[in-house]
C-alpha cells in the first residue's frame, strides 16, 4: 500500500484535504455533500484502523461493497495477519476517488 488516502497520498489527496476542512470535529454536517464525504471517511478509517470491526455503525459495506469479505473471516485477529490488504486497497481507493470527485464537483472545486 503506497498511494492510498490512508497513507496521506491518495490520488486526489489535495482535494480531500481541502474538503476535509469543512468537516466538523464531531457530528453531522449541514452540507449534504460534505456529510457524505464525512461518513465515507469514517467507514474508510474503520476499515484500515480496525479491519471493519465497526462496519455496521460506519456503513462500511454501503460505501465499500465487497470489502468486508476481504476482512471478515479474520477481523478479530491481529491487524497484520490474514487480511487481504491488496484486495481491500483495490476496493477502497477507486471508491474514495469517486466519492472525492463527486463531492468536489458538488462544491465547485472541479
Surface-to-core class of residue 51, CB atoms within 10 Å of its CB (0-12 exposed, 13-18 middle, 19+ buried): buried
| Structure confidence by residue, pLDDT tens digits, 46-105 | 999 988 887 776 789 899 999 988 886 554 545 555 678 899 999 999 999 999 999 999
d(CA 87, CA 66): 10
- Which long-range CB contacts under 8 A does 38-44 form with residues at least 24 apart? 39/63, 40/95, 40/96, 40/99, 41/16, 44/5, 44/6, 44/92, 44/96
Q: What is the pTM of this model?
A: 0.87
Amino acid at each position: 500500500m503506497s498511494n492510498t488516502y490512508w497513507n496521506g497520498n491518495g490520488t486526489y489527496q489535495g482535494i480531500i484535504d481541502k474538503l476535509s476542512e469543512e468537516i466538523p470535529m464531531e457530528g453531522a454536517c449541514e452540507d449534504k455533500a460534505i456529510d457524505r464525504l464525512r461518513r465515507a471517511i469514517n467507514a474508510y478509517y474503520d476499515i484500515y484502523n480496525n479491519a471493519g470491526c465497526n462496519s455496521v455503525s460506519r456503513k462500511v459495506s454501503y460505501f465499500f461493497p465487497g470489502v468486508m469479505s476481504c476482512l471478515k473471516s479474520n477481523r478479530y485477529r491481529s491487524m497484520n495477519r490474514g487480511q487481504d490488504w491488496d484486495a481491500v486497497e483495490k476496493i477502497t481507493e477507486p471508491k474514495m476517488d469517486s466519492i472525492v470527485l463527486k463531492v468536489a464537483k458538488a462544491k465547485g472545486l472541479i
